[in-house]
Amino acid sequence: MEIHATFGLEAFSDGVIAIIITIMVLELKVPHGDSLGALLPLVPVLLSYVLSFIYVGIYWNNHHHLLHAVSHVTGAVLWANLHLLFWLSLIPFVTGWMGENHFATLPVAAYGVVLFMCAVAYAILVRCLMRQQGEHMLAEAIGRDRKGLLSLLCYPIGVGAAFVHPWLGFAFYICVALVWLVLDRRIEGRLKS
C-alpha cells in the first residue's frame, strides 16, 4: 500500500487544527443560572466562537483538498504550512478577546488582522505548492483564485470598518465566511478527473 507523501504534513496539521478547536471550546464558560436570561451575557462569546469554528473548518477543509492535490512537499512548503498554522493558532486568542469584550472596536479589528494574516499565509502555501509542482493540476484548479483575492481585500476593509462600528467590521468577516462556505470544488473536481 502506497502512502501519500504529504501524509505526515496533513496529520500534523490536522492535529494542530484539532487543538485550536479544543482551545476555543474550552474558553466557553457555563452560564450561572438555569434560565434563558443567563445565556444573554454569553451571546457575544457564542457568536465569536461560531464564526471562528466556521473559519477553522473552512481552512481545514481547503487544506485537506490542497494537500491531496500534490504528491510531495519541500522544505519551503513545510515552513509555509507552519506559517499558516501559526496564524490559525491565534484565532482562539482573538476570538476570546472579541467575545469577552462584547465586540469592542480593537478586539474586532485584531480579529480581522488575524483572519487577514491567515489568508495571506494560506495564499503563500498555495503558491509554494504550485511552484514545486509546476504548471499542472493544482495551478489549473486554483486558477485566478477570485475567492482568495476577495478575502485579501475584504479583511482589511473589515478592519477599517471596525473602527467605524465594530459590528460593521464583524459583518465583513461573516460575508467572507459565507463566500467560502459555498463549497469550493475546484481542487476536488480535478482530483476526481
Distance of CA 191 to the CA centre of its chain: 22
- Asked whether residue 106 carries a pLDDT value surpassing 80, the answer given is yes
Please check whether residue 44 lies inside any domain of the structure. yes
In which residue are the cell numbers 485537506 written?
64
Burial class for 138, CB neighbours closer than 10 Å (0-12, 13-18, 19+): buried
pLDDT band at 145 (very low <50, low <70, confident <90, very high): confident
Domain that holds residue 17: 7-192
Could you tell me if 101 and 107 are in contact, meaning their C-beta atoms sit under 8 angstroms apart?
yes
Cell numbers for 173, please give them.
468577516
Please check whether residue 43 lies inside any domain of the structure. yes
Structure confidence at residue 135 (pLDDT): 46
CB atoms within 10 A of CB 177: 18
Please check whether residue 127 lies inside any domain of the structure. yes
CA–CA gap between residue 48 and residue 171 (Å, rounded): 12
DSSP H helices in the chain: 7-26, 43-68, 75-89, 91-100, 105-133, 137-142, 146-164, 166-181, 186-192
Q: Which amino acid is at 60?
A: W
pTM of the model: 0.89
Please check whether residue 15 lies inside any domain of the structure. yes
Please check whether residue 2 lies inside any domain of the structure. no
Most confident of 36-40, 137-141, 180-184: 36-40
Please check whether residue 1 lies inside any domain of the structure. no
Could you tell me if 71 and 192 are in contact, meaning their C-beta atoms sit under 8 angstroms apart?
no
Structure confidence at residue 134 (pLDDT): 60
pLDDT band at 187 (very low <50, low <70, confident <90, very high): low
Please check whether residue 78 lies inside any domain of the structure. yes
Could you tell me if 150 and 92 are in contact, meaning their C-beta atoms sit under 8 angstroms apart?
no
Please check whether residue 47 lies inside any domain of the structure. yes
Counted domains in the chain: 1
CA–CA gap between residue 100 and residue 121 (Å, rounded): 27
The residue with greater pLDDT, 163 or 29, is: 163
- Supply the mean pLDDT for the chain: 88
CA–CA gap between residue 98 and residue 179 (Å, rounded): 22
Structure confidence at residue 3 (pLDDT): 43
Structure confidence at residue 189 (pLDDT): 55
CA–CA gap between residue 68 and residue 160 (Å, rounded): 36
